[in-house]
Chain A
Amino acid sequence: MDFVWAFVIGGLICVIGQMLLDLFKLTPAHVVVSFVVAGAFLDAFGLYDKLIAFAGAGATVPITSFGHSLLHGAMQEANEHGYIGLAMGVFKLTSAGITSALLFGFLVALIFKPKG
């Protein structure tokens, strides 16, 4: 059942993105940026955690979870260190994602030849 919900919720989030692209004629960059901000916004009210508990990877794989993890890490540190903790914790949970994206991106660019 976990797999079904991951598929459905993940798919629906992408459909919202496709609608923003088609109906409102936003550029892909604008759509992705809005999704990140929306993820942080939903996490500010604790709503995104409920979605993750329900849909698993259907909620953690879309880019909305990037905004959610940024705020989540910031709040974790902020609870211990106050306002300065916000700056300390922002990249705490997303570190693995950003580091691997940069590392693999760099290595692939070194090894492969550009296509097209």
Chain B
Amino acid sequence: MKTLNDPKNYKKNIKAFHPKTNYFMNCLKAFLVGGFICLVGEAIQKAYAAFTDYTEKSAGNPTVATLILISSLLTGFGVYDKIGQFAGAGSLIPVTGFANSITSAALEHKSEGIVLGIATNMFKLAGSVIVFGVVSATVFGLIRLTVNNLLG
């Protein structure tokens, strides 16, 4: 027990007791599920371009909104979390994972009330995404704009 609790090599010592990660299977699952979600997105985008006034380029927004609607509903039915357990990053990285994090956080805290529970906790996970997105976009934008101005 002494070697296990040794604070210097703790991470190294407990390694043998960790469950083994199957890297290849996890990546394969992520590839298949993530690819499938993007495939569905491509189909929705093509459908919007074909049947409505959207062009192939401008159909991106309604496509994302549709995927978010589907993912929110699946989260409500408890299906998306099961997909998430199977697919790992495959369901986390697509925009559906963003919607899932908002909906599931809102659902989880429903018992605390509509204002303090649902509305306050919605941004629990999505907040970091929006904050880092806005900060990085503004910083990169500042740099690019300054470089453009300097070059004339």
Which residues of A are in contact with B by a Cβ distance under 8 Å? 2-3, 6-15, 17-23, 28-29, 31-33, 35-37, 40-41, 43-44, 56-58, 60-67, 70-71, 74-75, 78, 82-83, 86-87, 90, 93-94, 96-98, 100-102, 104-116
Contact = CB atoms under 8 A, between A and B. Distances in A.
Interface of B: 21, 23, 26-27, 29-39, 41-46, 60-65, 67-69, 72-73, 75-78, 81, 87-90, 92-99, 102-103, 106-108, 110-111, 114, 118-119, 122, 125-126, 128-130, 132-134, 136-138, 140-145
Contact of B129 (A9, A32, A109): A32
Interface centre among A10, A14, A15 (most CB of B within 10 A): A14
Closest 6 CB pairs of A and B: A10-B38, A14-B34, A11-B35, A17-B89, A57-B41, A115-B78
Contacts, number: 255
Contact of A37 (B27, B68, B132): B132
A35 B143 CA distance: 20
A67 B93 CA distance: 13
A31 B89 contact: yes
A40 B94 contact: no
B6 to A, nearest CB: 20
Given A10-B38, A32-B97, A67 B63 contact: no
Given A3-B42, A18-B27, A58-B42, A108 B98 contact: no
24 contacts: A3-B43, A6-B38, A10-B35, A11-B31, A15-B34, A17-B30, A17-B89, A32-B92, A33-B132, A37-B136, A56-B42, A57-B44, A61-B63, A63-B94, A63-B95, A66-B133, A70-B133, A70-B134, A90-B137, A100-B65, A100-B69, A107-B72, A108-B73, A114-B111
Contacts of A31: 89, 92-93
